[in-house]
Structure 1
Amino acid sequence: MRLRPTLISPEYTRLWFGQAVSSVGDAVFSTTLVLWVATILVEGRPWAPVAVSGVLLATGAAVLLVGPVAGVFVDRWDKRATMLRTEVLRGVMVALLTAVACLPTSALAVEVWLALVYVTVFALNAAARFFTPARFALVADLVTGEADRARAAGLAQATSQTAWIVGPPLAAPLLFTVGLQWALLFNALSYAVSFVAVRSVRVPASGGGPAGGSEGQQPASGGLFGEFVAGLRFFARSRFLVALLVLAVIGQFGVGALNTLNVFFTTDNLHASARLFGYLGMAMGVGGIVGALCAGRVVQWIGARRATWIGLLVSGALLVLYSRQTGFLGGVAFLFAFAIPLTVLNTAMAPLLVAAAPAAYRGRVVAVFYPVTQLASMLAAVLAGWLAGTVLRGLDVPLGPLRLGPVDTILAVSGLFVVLSGVYAWLALPAPESADAPEMAGVRV
């Protein structure tokens, strides 16, 4: 692949650089907080797992409570200015927590420390609910063409995957060598770098601000609540958007089950030590990077629509094959392969989502799409754990040369659902010339 002096365009390169630095900072921050809470703040207490889960619950609460409403404001506000304000807010929040972290742990009650952590995590993720759709809309203005938009989405996913490979190994040395406050300061500085990068982006005259022009113009709809309802109605009336959401939700159910049960699959089915579990995550991360970097070229070759349904079929089939593995090396290989088409299809959805959402509704479309898929992932994780621990517990069914246990059965069924969603995508995603997809005119899918 030919190296380019810039990534798609100079303006997108600056935006990407800010995201890259901020993503590493977020990965270090999240890992550091979990480690600090688990190994220092509540070490040895019987309710330590509950305290750690509170960090994850604060994240989920921000996504579900703030996300849908944030889209209304993003559609009203200047996109670049919204991103700058959220970076200032996040940087200040982390800086304040950093200042408090300079105190010895004994200076405050454990409950106060936990409250500070949970409030900060909630506030950071609530601000991100404004940043993410604003960035989505700004990229749509800066990057044109289906292939380049898919390439931009692929770079974003590859950057995120890389950040979660690089960030966590940095977190432990920072925490245990120089202390919590320095690990937090690293994240605060990453927001400052992101702010400078976003501020340097020159936005086209027609983009970055409130929706305008014939495509983005919308009538007044009764204030905040009216605009929120208008966004939901627009989403519900678009067969294309509904189909994309259904596909994303089904895909999240497959990935959610894998995230919950993979550690048990490693020890029970792959007959490997739990110490090797991290290598499976690394294999999936590397596969995700490969898939993200290839996605733009794949979309250019076959189109985003075909990349979506083919990606679902292939990733679902590979998940089924992964569920039948009994050796660690085979598991690593199949999980690496599974991550490639999964990331390609996730990347291919980005240009479809951009093309299906007029400028005036992009913030609200993203604010509906991502929280719903996040909720689906959470429900899948809970359902998979409940099935493995109750209904299917002790399952041991011989099937020819194979034996079906609880964990591998759940993963196999999840893979079959993903395959069926690929068939649904092939049938349900309308072509641009279809009367059901007027918003897709001019976009090859």
Structure 2
Amino acid sequence: MRRDSLWAHRDFRQLWAGQTAGQFGTYVGQTVLPLLAATTLEASPFQMGVLTAAGTAAFLLIGLPTGVLVDRIRRRPVMLTADFTRAALLFTVPLAAWTGALTLSQLIVVAFLVGVATVLFDVAYQSYLPSLVGRAQLMEGNTRLQSSLSAAEVIGPGVGGGLAQLTGAATAALTTAVGYLVSGLLLLRIQVRESRPVGHDGTRMGTQIKEGLGFVRGEKSLRAITVSTALSNLATTVLLSMQILFLTQDLGLTPGAVGAVLALSGVGGLVGAFTAGRCAQWIGSARAIWLTPLVISPAALLVPLAEPGRLTVLCVLGLALRAYGTTVFNVVNVSYRQAICPRRLLGRVNATVRFITWGAMPLGGLLGGALGGWIGVRATLWVSCSALALTSLPLLLSPLRTLREFPEVQEEEVASPA
């Protein structure tokens, strides 16, 4: 083991293990909660769209103020609060189901509040990593974290679908709550104390928000990445809002088979996580940001071609290739953003990017629900997958197309031991 490897970084291992548990719970939840709505609660296509939108609406509603908050205070306490809040909220779902009191309204409210906590966690976590490991190890850190996310994307849906078939979807939701609880407990074990943030100088929140927006708008490559990601997330969420209905109704799959399809699809993300670093070295870190989605995104068009029986494999293949491209893109583009952004702005810049990119997701959920009720589930998938094939266009028009590697950045001071 190399001494400079993050394998030897105890506190990073705690963060990594916690994120692994949390992501595992997330992907179980992304399978069992829609299954619970679609099967037990018999939700319509539009109601499924509303449920999808509720889970991401907080990025649109509080994303920008969260960035200012995260730049003013230490990030780890924010992450801890978010993890324990998500765990508590998700424990209410099986409790309500066991007493016969669970409703679709409760599920939507829980999804929204969990989304609020997720906004706080995600903005804080992406801003916390550079201070924990240093900028020289960002690519390695993001690669390892993304590998766990991709592994969870493979294992979580299979476990979620299997548990939903064996114990019921509501009971399977316990796994999601436990995942967030374990994540919080592991974060408590981190010993390094963060550097104290720059004190609040009295500048108004609106002014500080504009500073984060201004950085994203003024950095041409980052602006193109943000626009492309927002368009991709919009189209992807249209797809996700109808995915469970497509698998259960159009393809006639059981909950266990749904979990298996999603698990097999996630293998693409796992491969992407393990190869993202090599891919960036091979074709160039900056070049990987635009070339990967250009080549891979059109594969999503295989999904609506799927039919019951053997042709279900087209859905698996399309989703797997999309997951591969998305994972490689995420590793390199997050590393780029963390590398070029001054630390004092990192929370606001991360929040700005999340506000724009994830703020498109509730709109995609509502659009998917509306289209599903109007033109049908399969036709909605054709619309979303066709749009995904075009989302790399902003990247092709950006300065990234002329670069091979990220620009040189000056290393900043990392967190010091308590």
Which TM-score applies when normalising by structure 1? 0.73
What are the within-5 Å matches in structure 2 for residues 401-420 of structure 1? 411=385, 414-415=388-389, 417-420=390-393
Cα displacement string for residues 1-57 of structure 1 (whole angstroms, at most 9, x for unaligned residues): x9x9964733222111111112222333343333334433x34xxx65454444323
Q: Does 1:71 align with 2:60?
A: no
Q: Which residue of 1 aligns with 2:197?
A: 211
Match 1:369 to one of 353, 359, 365: 353
| Corresponding position of 2:218 | 237
Contact 2:75/2:128 (<8 A) preserved: yes
Matching of residue 290 in structure 1 with residue 274 in structure 2: no
Q: How far does residue 407 in structure 1 lie from its aligned partner after superposition?
A: 7.0
Partners of 1:75 and 1:210 within 8 A in 2? no
- Structure 2 CA distance for partners of 1:234 and 1:95, relative to 1, 3 Å: same
Q: Which residue of 2 aligns with 1:23?
A: 23
> 1:360 is aligned with what amino acid?
R
**Contact (CA 8 Å) 1:432, 1:441: kept in 2 or not?**
no
Output the CA distance in 2 between the equivalents of 1:57 and 1:323: 22
1:441 aligns with 2:383: no
Report the Cα offset of residue 101 of structure 1.
4.5
SS in 2 for 1:35: helix
Alignment of 1:309-388 (within 5 A): 309-316=290-297, 318=299, 328=311, 333=317, 336-377=320-361, 379=363
Distance 2:366 2:203 in 1: 38
Measured in 1, the distance between the counterparts of 2:8 and 2:217 equals 33
Paired residue type of 1:62: A
| 1-structure distance, mates of 2:163, 2:107 | 18
- Determine the structure 2 residue equivalent to 1:141: 131
Aligned ranges for residues 30-429 of structure 1 at < 5 Å? 30-40=30-40, 42-43=41-42, 48-102=44-98, 104-105=99-100, 108=101, 113-145=103-135, 148-175=137-164, 177-178=166-167, 182-203=171-192, 208-212=194-198, 220=201, 222-252=203-233, 255=236, 259=240, 273=251, 275=253, 281-316=262-297, 318=299, 328=311, 333=317, 336-377=320-361, 379=363, 411=385, 414-415=388-389, 417-425=390-398
Given the superposition, is the C-alpha separation of residues 94 and 427 from structure 1 closer, same or farther in structure 2, using an over 3 Å criterion? Answer: closer
Distance in 2, Cα, partners of 1:90 & 1:389: 31
Distance 1:34 1:283 in 2: 18
After superposition, the C-alpha distances for 1:68-101 in whole angstroms (9 at most, x for unaligned) are 2211111111111211222222233334555544
Tell me whether 73-82 or 26-35 shows the greater mean CA deviation: 26-35
Q: Distance in 2 between matches of 1:35 and 1:407?
A: 18
- CA gap 1:116/1:360 in 2 versus in 1, 3 angstroms: same
Could you say if the C-alpha distance between residues 420 and 144 of structure 1 is closer, same or farther in structure 2, counting changes exceeding 3 Å?
same
* Residues 64, 371 of structure 1: 8 Å contact kept: yes
Q: What is the rounded CA distance, in whole Å, between the counterparts of 1:342 and 1:198 in structure 2? A: 27
User: Matched residues in 1 for 2:273 and 2:238: separation?
Assistant: 22
State the alpha-carbon separation in 2 of the partners of residues 189 and 303 from structure 1: 39
2:17 and 2:275 mapped to 1: Cα distance? 20
Residues matched between the structures, number? 402
Q: Unaligned regions of 5+ residues in structure 1, if any? A: 267-271, 392-404
Name the amino acid aligned to 1:211.
P
For the aligned residue pairs, the C-alpha RMSD in angstroms reads 4.3
Percent sequence identity is 25
- CA apart distance, 1:294: 0.8
1:77 partner amino acid: I
Any unmatched runs of 5+ in structure 2?
412-418
Shift of 1:202: 2.6
Instruction: Please give the alpha-carbon distance, in whole angstroms, between the structure 1 residues aligned to 2:110 and 2:93.
Output: 8
Secondary structure at 2:201 match in 1: coil
Q: CA deviation at 1:160?
A: 2.5
| Residue in 2 that maps onto 1:399 | none
The 3-state SS of whatever aligns with 2:397 is: helix
* Higher RCO structure, 1 or 2 (CA under 8 Å, sep 6+): 2
Specify whether residues 347 and 93 from structure 1 end up closer, same or farther in structure 2 by C-alpha distance, changes over 3 A only.
Answer: same
| Equivalent pair of 2:35/2:169 in contact (CA under 8 Å) | no
**1:384-409 residue CA offsets vs partner (Å, 9 max, x unmatched):** 89889989xxxxxxxxxxxxx99768
Instruction: Name the TM-score, length of structure 2 as normaliser.
Output: 0.77
Q: In the alignment, is the contact (CA less than 8 A) between 2:67 and 2:351 conserved in 1?
A: yes
Greater Rg by CA: 1
Moved more, 325-334 or 119-128: 325-334
Cα distance in structure 1, aligned partners of 2:113 and 2:246 = 35
CA apart distance, 1:347: 1.3
